[in-house]
Amino acid sequence: MPAVSQGKGKGHNKHDDDDEDRGKGKKKAKHEFDERDREVVSSYYSDRNSNLPPGLAKRGGNLPPGLEKQLERNGTLPPGLQKRLQPCPVELERRLPPLETGYSRGVIGAHLVIYNRSTNVIVDIMRNVMH
């Protein structure tokens, strides 16, 4: 009788079991902004005066045109934007659900992004959140 393999073999679908609820409560970790996230972010920034650096404040938070063009979903953060990437404010981060391992939120100019830390690929972006 031939041997029959058991399990999932060669590591295929090895992350299927990781779909259980993660983080606080019943929220699953994720890596995109949903409608609730957008409301939380909009509320957070509308309650504050813009805390942009003076150079960006003059331009209304807009990046130089060349860098602004490179800031897009599924695009890679070029070195010029990597240097401008600031961590998401701690208070805002606490209000948002956790991200999947390997992803972070950051602020570039007046925009909030979720990016993959190892590949620097932008997976989602909220434009002009600080206006």
pLDDT digits (tens, 9 = 90+) for 107-130: 998 999 999 999 999 999 999 887
Residue 90 to residues 3, 6, 17, 86, 93, Cα–Cα distance (Å):
54, 45, 30, 11, 5
Percent share of the chain, pLDDT over 70: 66
Check whether 71 has a pLDDT greater than 70: yes
- Which tokens go with 77? 């953060």
Check whether 72 has a pLDDT greater than 80: yes
Would you tell me how many other CB atoms lie within 10 Å of the CB of residue 74? Answer: 9
CA distance 121 to 114: 9
Please check whether residue 119 is in contact with residue 79, taking contact to mean a CB–CB distance below 8 angstroms: no
Closest CA to 74 of 125, 116, 34, 123: 123
